[in-house]
Amino acid sequence: MNTHRTPRRLVSRAATAAALATALGLGAVPTATAAPSAAPLTARPTGLDGGWHQDGLHLTAAENKKVDGFAARARRAERTISPAVRAAARISHAELVGFDQRLKSPDSLKRKVATRLRETPGQTVDAALRTINDAVRFTLQWPAGTYSQGVHTTAGLLSTWGNDSARWTNTWNRTGYKAINSVWRAPRSGQLFEVQFHTPESKAAQLETHKLYEEQRLPGTPPAQVRELQEQQNAIFAAVPVPPGAERLTAPARRLSPDPARRLPVPAPAPAG
């Protein structure tokens, strides 16, 4: 993974193992809204036919059932993913933001799937579900001065613990949204999960622009209004300071040979409840 040189590279394996053991021993991780468990991923169908209907979008009973199954699998996988992310956050001195929102709600998943089915006629619900990589998602943030080292350390740890980097989008050098959005595939379940890397300023800008973004992506929003909403978002993100070296951060290289560091303690499942 390319980044600026620093006298402190990734923490030593011995130190990492010790810190991981502490983190997995229910040590506290700084969180903005941490909660011991996520909200249930179950929801009753909104239609008497067993389907789902909302704001002009709909899923058939069979499609609705498949999305519910997808959500249930994500919930099970989250129990082994969260401990690793919490440990990485602790080791890299990150603030874990919105931890209680780490599971996408059933309605949000259904809205996403139904929107894609409408936008791509002929697409199956299974194909639409394969494009969803944020059913399990996390946000880590650091002050601008430690951001680049924090991202470098966290991504290295996730990779070392067997998570495969599936997507890495660095927008620090682009117009508009500022952050790094990464997608990983968990080693045990194969579940895709998203990790966003923010500074407090970029996260605040994301929250400030959220309503604009939601309005922009509505199917009925006129093209001229879409452009205007995008310009408003661009102006907000333009005021976000770029952390030193952030635009050069890249995904960790795929490991082609066994690494002794993989013998570090395996993150244990989160306590139930």
Average pLDDT, the chain: 83
Residue 29 has, within 13 A of its CA and on its CB side, a CA count of 33
Rounded CA gap, 74 and 71, in Å?
A: 5
Of 187, 186, 191, 182, the closest CA to residue 152 belongs to 182
Chain segment 166-204, per-residue pLDDT in tens: 999 999 999 999 999 999 999 989 999 999 999 999 999
Chain segment 97-140, per-residue pLDDT in tens: 999 999 999 999 999 999 999 989 999 999 999 999 999 999 99
Chain segment 249-258, per-residue pLDDT in tens: 999 986 543 4
Predicted structure pTM score: 0.78
Chain segment 29-76, per-residue pLDDT in tens: 555 543 334 444 444 445 567 899 987 889 999 999 999 999 999 999
Residue 188 burial by CB count (10 A; 0-12/13-18/19+): exposed, middle or buried? middle
